[in-house]
Structure formats: C-alpha cells, structure tokens
Structure 1
C-alpha cells in the first residue's frame, strides 16, 4: 500500500521530466515543496489534465462518496479498480498523477514495525498513478483521490506486499489524457510501470509515524533499525 510519501523538490523538478508532452497551465515555481511526510487526509498537489493543458491542484488525499459511510479510502488496487463499483467512474474520468520523491513503508517483525524510505536509485522524480473525483478545480468534501497500487515483487515484497504504481515519465501525458480509453489506461498500468529493480530503500526514523514530524532527517538512513 502507500500511506505516506514525500514531495520535497520544487514542482519544476517533476515538470521538467514531462517537458514537451503537453502544454501546462502551471505557474513557474522553483521553490521546494518541502513536504517530508505527506499523510492521508491532507491536501496534495495533484497533476491532472483539463482544458487541453496540465494543471496542479491541491486535492484531498482520500475518497469517500456520499453513499460510503466509512473512513475515506486512500488506495485502489490496479487489478480491480477499472471494474469496481467504487472506482470505475474515477478510472474512466478522473485519472491523475501524484508527484513524489519516494514513499515510506513499514516492515513488520512480530510486534515490531520498522519504517523504510523507498526511492528511485538515481533519485529521479516519481509519478504515482492516481484516480479521483474530477474536475479537481471544484472538489467536493472528502471526494478527493486515491493512489493506485500494484503487487510488490522481488526484494520489495519483503517490506510490504503492495506498492504505489509508479509510471515512467514518458507515459504520464497519455495516462492523464481524457481521450485515453479505459482499456488503454489498463495497458499503461502494466506496460509503463517502473520496474521494482529501479528502487532502493533504507530504514528511517520511527518519527515518520506521526504526520506532525516534517523535518528533512526523516528520509535519512538510520543505523539501528528494529528489524
């Protein structure tokens, strides 16, 4: 799953990786975003396509339609999202992307849980596939977005059996475009997902368990992990 991630760099670090894919309606800003511990229930800068241009909107991380009487959901499984009652409309009309540097996952060993920070080996910007209630410029309360997840494999499964579906940069525009069919979006989720071998991870401070903590040292490797 994905329950915490980082948006540290400036928006330009991500948008430069998409240069030439689509027009943007996004103000130039080289100021680092500086969020070291993004938690569900907060507003997140979400990349989406409307009016023939890329937009960034602050959107609630979580999705609970009016008929859903439980806590908002934060993830959707790629294997079932396109066909499920909950997520099918979002897959068809609300595809979006979360810009990230990396994410946190907790490894369990009995009663102990040790957080790890996971990132691309060359620290490249990441693009998490997301779906939500569009149009994002007119957001309804608690009808925000969820991050699409896929099954972990290889070494990453030792941390958790799920991971965010990270799209290669060259696939982002097609994923976002409203002309992309439901079936083609399914194909992109399979064909354009970043290979788990591209990722590295290390243990980090257990302070990341509280969203009150936002300091830069949250992503630094520690020498004394619990497990």
Structure 2
C-alpha cells in the first residue's frame, strides 16, 4: 500500500514538470504527507491540465458517510476497473499525484523499520490516481486515491505492494478522457529497472505530526 509520501517541490516546479496551471493550490514543502490531508493533484479537463487541491481518501459521489474516505486511500490495480468505489473514477476522472518520495515499513526481527523511497535522481514523479467530487453537508469536496500494484524487484524486500509510478511519457495517456480502458490497464504495472533507491530512516515518520526534513534523512550508525 501507500500510506505516506513526500512532496517538497514548490508549485512553480510542479507547474513546469506537469505542464499544468495552478488553480488555487497553496502548497509548502511536505515531508510526511498522511491520509485526509489536502495536496496538489494534476487533472485534465478539455485538454487543460490544472493543479487542484484535493483531500487524500476517495469519496465516491454516492458515499453517505465521510468516514469512507479513510478506507479508500489506495485502490488495487488488479480490481480498480470493477470495484464499485473506483470503477466510475477509473473510467472518467483519473489524475496524477505529484510526489518526490514515499515511505514503507520493512518488517524485521525488531519490528518495523521505516524506509524512504525515491527516484535515484531525487526528482519529481507521479503516482497514478483517481479523483471524485463528493457533495458533503458543507459543500463539494474533491478527493483522490493512489493506485497500487505488486512490488517490483527492487522493493520486494520491503513490501509486497507499491504505488503505481507513471513516467512523464505516460502522463498524457493516463489523463486522456478518451483512452480505451484496456490501454489504461497496461499502465498499471510495477516500475521496471533500477530507477528507485531507498534507505532506512528514523521512526519520526510514524507520526503525521512530524513533518520536517529529518523524517526522510538516512539513519546513522
């Protein structure tokens, strides 16, 4: 699964990388992003890419209880096209979730050791995501989820799942509202090659109250 990630780049950098214009997105460097928080998400409408603020934890339009979002922070690639909570968004409202790293907890003899995972070059990338607008009692709320798949060779030692990471060449296809469903499914695969790197970090990241650079710094002996 993917339950924490980081996004430390400014909106201007996101705008340039994704070719998107900001739409009311306040964003500061975030080192320990947790579900239910509001983040900048890339969507496309009528060919226009926008960065929009959305809350992590998908709420389908038909949801009766806001708490459902806590259970829908991730969607499995293998079933996203058929699950009632996700299938409509998969067909009509896909998004890119900007990130520059994410966290996983490796089980060992002493319990769980958090690990920080990022691109080898330390650059920006995007998780494959879905979004939906929920009409809540206080007005409409835009929410999103991150799609996961089986772990690639690099990350199998950490966890059996990983988020779907899209390369820049795949952004347009993922956001294309007219894309055939079968072609979209082919994008939901583990990242190939040795593009990722990771290192153990302190347990500071275990608490979402901790949101500072030390969360992702390597452990020192």
**Structure (1/2) with the larger strand percentage:** 2
Quickly say closer, same or farther: Cα 1:51–1:155, change in 2 above 3 A: closer
Partner-residue secondary structure (3-state), 2:194 = helix
Distance 1:16 1:195 in 2: 25
Q: Deviations over 1:185-223 (max 9, x none)?
A: 112324xx6325210000111111111111112111012
In structure 1, the partner of 2:22 is 26
Aligned to 2:123: 124
Asked whether the equivalents of residues 5 and 39 of structure 1 are also in contact (C-alpha less than 8 Å), the reply is yes
How far apart are residue 167 of structure 1 and its match? 0.2
| Paired position in structure 2 for 1:201 | 198
Report how far residue 9 of structure 1 moved.
Answer: 1.0
In the TM superposition, structure 1's runs of 4+ consecutive aligned residues that sit over 4 Å from their partners are 67-70
Contact kept? 2:152, 2:191, Cα under 8 Å: no
Q: String of CA shifts for 1:122-171, please: whole Å, max 9, x gaps.
A: 11211100012159xxx844x61110001003131111111110000111
Deviation at 1:34, TM superposition (A): 0.6
CA distance in 1: counterparts of 2:34 and 2:193, whole angstroms: 23
Distance 1:168 1:155 in 2: 17
Q: Partner of 1:61 in structure 2?
A: 56
The Cα RMSD (Å) is 2.6
Partner of residue 39 from structure 2, selected from 37, 44, 62:
44
Q: Return the alpha-carbon distance in structure 2 between the equivalents of residues 67 and 121 of structure 1.
A: 42
Is 1:93–2:92 an aligned residue pair?
yes
Query: Where do 5+ consecutive residues of structure 2 fail to align?
Result: none
Show the counterpart of 1:217.
214
Instruction: Work out the number of aligned pairs and report it.
Output: 214
Aligned equivalent of 2:166: 167
